[in-house]
């Protein structure tokens, strides 16, 4: 599903060139669950943003399901992202003053899904994540764990093939974090490819494969 070859991402810091990612090659098959680990500043977010088609790169290649991502226009890239990828972030990135249902329906507004279909799809995914009773509440009335369930529902509502999660349990207590991990792993068992950036060894232990990044390079890549 993901084929990255000799990928580099460079910044200029104080007039000196600096590689946030340096010659990274990586392939991930459909259906895998992968944890990306490494110290702060190692390049994890940069890699995740490139995999998520949110950021560009300077050298190398990236194919997502056989599509050469670098060759796409911004519009085509946005379409690909919207169709294939669900994002779950540590800070949830929800609209706090809007209802749970509205937040989950949001990704479908961009492709003019009929309202009735939006509502029905959002309700279905909220039910799956145990959030039906909360659907009319505003997001700022929810607990952290509930917010992350809503964020997960929003990420899943368009049935993405790839789920990218950046520290999805980072803001949660350990029990709630475990519950969120179980929900992510259930989706993975249903066939969704799962990539999680995490500092947490316990979170990584749930994944089939752990990739460790240091100074912009992959220094470890192992399957359990």
Cβ atoms of 127 and 160 within 8 Å: the answer is: no
The helix/strand/coil state of 183 is helix
Shortest distance, CB of residue 46 to ligand ADP, whole angstroms?
Answer: 3
Work out whether 58 is an interface residue with ligand ADP (CB under 6 A): no
Cβ atoms of 131 and 122 within 8 Å: the answer is: no
Please tell me the distance from the alpha carbon of residue 87 to that of residue 200, in angstroms, as a whole number: 19
**Position among 2, 4, 7, 20 found at the interface with ligand ADP (CB under 6 A):** 20
Is the Cβ of residue 13 or residue 222 nearer to ligand ADP in the bound state? Answer: 13
Is the Cβ of residue 41 or residue 191 nearer to ligand ADP in the bound state? Answer: 41
What character string, x for contact with ligand ADP (CB under 6 A) and - otherwise, covers 141-180? ----------------------------------------
Is the Cβ of residue 2 or residue 42 nearer to ligand ADP in the bound state? Answer: 42
Please tell me the distance from the alpha carbon of residue 26 to that of residue 216, in angstroms, as a whole number: 13
Residue-wise over 181-194: b if at least 16 C-beta within 10 A, else e?
Answer: bebbbebbeeebbb
Please tell me the distance from the alpha carbon of residue 185 to that of residue 77, in angstroms, as a whole number: 27
Site stretch for ligand ADP (CB under 6 A), options 39-47, 65-73, 92-100, 146-154 = 39-47
Work out whether 40 is an interface residue with ligand ADP (CB under 6 A): yes
**Position among 5, 8, 45, 90 found at the interface with ligand ADP (CB under 6 A):** 45
Work out whether 91 is an interface residue with ligand ADP (CB under 6 A): no
The helix/strand/coil state of 133 is helix
Neighbours of 143 (CB within 10 A): 12
**Position among 22, 34, 37, 38 found at the interface with ligand ADP (CB under 6 A):** 38
Work out whether 43 is an interface residue with ligand ADP (CB under 6 A): yes
């Amino acid at each position: 599903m993901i084929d990255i070859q000799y990928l580099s991402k460079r910044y200029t810091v104080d007039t000196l060139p600096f590689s946030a990612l340096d010659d990274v090659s990586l392939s991930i098959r459909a259906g895998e669950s992968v944890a990306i680990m490494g110290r702060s500043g190692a390049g994890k977010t940069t890699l995740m943003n490139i995999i998520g088609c949110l950021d560009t790169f300077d050298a190398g290649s990236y194919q997502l399901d056989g599509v050469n991502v670098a060759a796409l226009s911004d519009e085509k890239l946005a379409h690909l992202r919207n169709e294939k990828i669900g994002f779950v972030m540590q800070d949830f990135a929800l609209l706090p003053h809007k209802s749970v249902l509205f937040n989950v329906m949001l990704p479908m507004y961009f492709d003019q899904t009929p309202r009735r279909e939006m509502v029905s799809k959002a309700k279905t995914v909220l039910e799956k994540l145990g959030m039906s009773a909360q659907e009319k509440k505003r997001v700022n009335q929810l607990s952290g764990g509930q917010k992350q369930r809503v964020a997960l529902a929003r990420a899943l509502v368009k049935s993405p093939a790839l789920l990218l999660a950046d520290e999805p349990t980072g803001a949660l207590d350990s029990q709630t974090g475990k519950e969120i991990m179980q929900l992510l792993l259930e989706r993975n068992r249903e066939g969704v490819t799962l990539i999680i950036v995490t500092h947490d060894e316990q979170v990584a232990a749930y994944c089939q494969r752990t990739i460790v990044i240091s100074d912009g390079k992959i220094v470890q890549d192992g399957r359990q």
